[in-house]
Amino acid sequence: MRNIVLMLVAVLVAGCASMNDAMTPSISITKDDFDGSLIVRQPPVSSSSSLSEGWHTLGFEWNQKNPDTIFITAGTNGTVNITDVAFNADGQVISSIKPASTITEYGQWSTRRFSMSWEDFLKVASAKSVKMKVVRINDYTVSSFGPEHSGAIVNTKIQPFVEKVVELKSTSGK
C-alpha cells in the first residue's frame, strides 16, 4: 500500500511539473527561414511578483542578425493601448526603449513589442530589484521582479535566456 501511495505522489508531482512548464514556456531556439540566422525567444511570462501590483507579462527575443539588440514584448491585462515601457533596475532608470511594433496587439493580454540595447537588457537581467513600468494612453502600472521579488515567473526565465545568447554571441564572433 505504501508503494502505491508513493507512486501516486510521484505521478502527481511529475504532472504538476509538466503543467507548470506548459503554463510557463521556456526559451526556444529557431532558425530564420529567410536568412538562416538564429533566434532565441522567451515567450511572455508573468513579470509581477504579487497580485497587488500591475499584472504584466514580459518576453524577450535575440536575433543573430541584430546581435546588440533585444526585442521585448511587454503586456498587461485588459484591452488597452501600450505606448511605452521602462525599467528601474536597482535604482537606474532605463527608458531608452523604442517601439518595435506599430500598434498594441490585443488578445488574452494586450502586448506591444519594443527594442532595447543588449547592454541595457543585461542591466535589467542582473539587477536584484527591477520595477517595470508599462505606460498606457492615460496612465501606467508598475510590477516588480528580480531576486528581491519572489513570485514573478520571469525570474526563472531571464538567466537561461541570457546564458544562451552569450553562448551564441561567443560562437558567432559577434
pLDDT tens-digit profile of 26-82?
999 999 999 999 999 999 999 999 988 989 999 999 999 999 999 999 999 999 999
Residue pair 48/155 in contact (Cβ under 8 Å)? The answer is no
Who's near 42: CB < 8 A, 6+ residues apart?
A: 25, 26, 27, 59, 60, 61, 157, 158, 161
The grid cell for 68 is: 546588440
The pLDDT tens digits for 137-152 are 999 999 999 999 999 9
- Domain borders along the chain are 26-172
Who's near 133: CB < 8 A, 6+ residues apart?
A: 84, 85, 86, 87, 88, 140, 141, 142
The pLDDT tens digits for 79-99 are 999 999 999 999 999 999 999
What is the C-alpha end-to-end distance of the chain, expressed in Å?
59
Q: Which CATH number is 26-172 given? A: 2.60.40
The grid cell for 75 is: 503586456
